[in-house]
Amino acid sequence: MHPLPYWRLSGYYFFYFAFIGAFSPYFGLYLQSLSFSAWDIALLMSQMQLMRLFAPYLWGAFADRLGQRMVIVRLAALLSLLGFASFFLVHGFVAVLLAMALLAFFWSAALPLVETTTFDHLRDQPARYSRIRLWGSIGFIIAVMATGAWLDRVPLSALLWVIVGTLLGILACALAVPEARSQAAAGEQLPLATIVRQPRVRALFAACFAMSAAHGALYVFYSIYLADHHYSKFLVGSLWSLGVVAEIVVFFYMGELMRRFGLRRLLLASFSAAVARFLMIGWGVEWPWLIVVAQVLHGLTFGAYHAAAIAAVNRWFTGRSQARGQALYSSLSFGAGGLAGSLLSGWTWDAWGAAATYAISSAFALLGLLLVVRWVSDEDEVGGRGSWRVAEDLSAPGIRR
């Protein structure tokens, strides 16, 4: 039996999402402390999405040709660390923009390649993906809680050292994770362009674009929004963590949920929850209990949504197309969708206010919901060529401890 490097893969996810836990909730506050405007902050933070628009595909195509994914992951980890180190030296807008672009270009290269490597290590046990991926959620919670509590006691500039620590962890784990032999699917191998032209693939990617755009204002302004309404940094971190706890619960039971409800129902529930969630955030900030409910919905709007989407992409894009398929998912959703949502929220935040901005986020989620309603049918979940038989993969034996 192929030995699974469970803890080395889990460690990578742990530090990768610990970086996000330290960076996403608090780096906007750090930029605000440098006296940047809302538009400046949105433009700077959007570099993470801008680079994810094309960098993952470039790195993925290179990895498919080279046949050595982990070599690129290790190089990206090292260059990300060096790129972030420049934040200790720069403070002006142009210099910070260049530093952010450099960090984002290399950092965005890694995850699609690691996702593909993880599934290749899992081979015939893709159900165990959720049990590996949940360590990323745990890393996020630890980072966001500890960082929030610490930043209540130290200057915001101390955030830079926290992020350096997570990037060092990413590099260490990247060096430890072994390469995996690509698992080409049996049967017909379709060219990448042929796969992308399938209506179900285009519909899913369009819905993923809409979901990421819906989250744009959340990732850029959520912490600033709560801080402006007198939520402490510790409470802000706790709310971020609550969402990720809900995400962990969903990941843990994803196999059973997929088997019981099917992919289409889970996607419909995820997009419906996103419609409600962003309306709650935009109009209910004065009621903390409503914000708590909105954060619990993160288990659906990211956890269930992401697990279903990435499993479908892994199934449809086989053989030498896998890395590019995962890169396309990352580029079109977190890249293009995240960029659109971030930049639009940067403009509407000052022009129309927070409530209207989050209402637009809800509208994006509604668009994704309509795409799923129209293009994903119950028949697509039945076996056969081109089917969404992800439920069988995620409920395979061995998922339970």
Q: pTM for the complete prediction? A: 0.72
Tokens in use for 374? 């129209």
* DSSP letter for each residue of 200-263: HHHHHHHHHHHHHHHTHHHHHHHHHHHHHTT--HHHHHHHHHHHHHHHHHHHHTHHHHHHHHHH
* AA letter at 276: A
Structure confidence at residue 183 (pLDDT) = 57
Structural domains of the chain, with CATH: 7-180+191-394 (1.20.1250.20)
Q: Residue by residue, what is the 3-state secondary structure of 240-257?
A: HHHHHHHHHHHHHCHHHH
Structure confidence at residue 311 (pLDDT) = 72
Contact 171, 12 (CB under 8 A): no
Tokens in use for 100? 């952010």
Contact 106, 48 (CB under 8 A): no
Contact 136, 303 (CB under 8 A): no
DSSP state of 179: P
Collect all residues with Cβ–Cβ distance below 8 Å to 200 and sequence separation of at least 6: 375, 376, 380, 386, 388
Contact 13, 131 (CB under 8 A): no
Distance CA 163, CA 171 (A): 13
Inter-CA distances, 51 with 335, 336, 345, 372, Å: 7, 9, 18, 27
For 279, the 3-state DSSP assignment is: helix
Distance CA 243, CA 284 (A): 16
Distance CA 127, CA 372 (A): 23
Structure confidence at residue 400 (pLDDT) = 29
Q: Spell out the alpha helix ranges (H) of 229-353.
A: 233-252, 254-283, 288-296, 298, 305-316, 322-330, 338-351
Closest residue by Cα to residue 239 from 250, 249, 252, 225: 225
Distance CA 58, CA 179 (A): 19
pLDDT values of the chain reduced to their tens digit, one per residue, 401 residues: 567 788 899 999 999 999 998 998 889 889 988 988 888 998 898 888 788 777 877 887 777 777 778 889 999 999 999 999 999 998 889 999 999 999 999 988 788 788 878 878 887 666 577 778 889 888 988 998 899 889 888 888 999 999 999 999 999 999 999 887 765 544 456 677 777 878 778 888 999 999 999 999 998 889 889 988 989 888 988 898 898 889 888 877 887 887 788 778 888 999 999 999 999 999 999 999 999 999 999 999 988 898 878 777 777 777 667 667 777 887 888 878 988 998 899 899 988 999 999 999 999 999 999 998 887 665 444 333 333 343 333 333 232 22
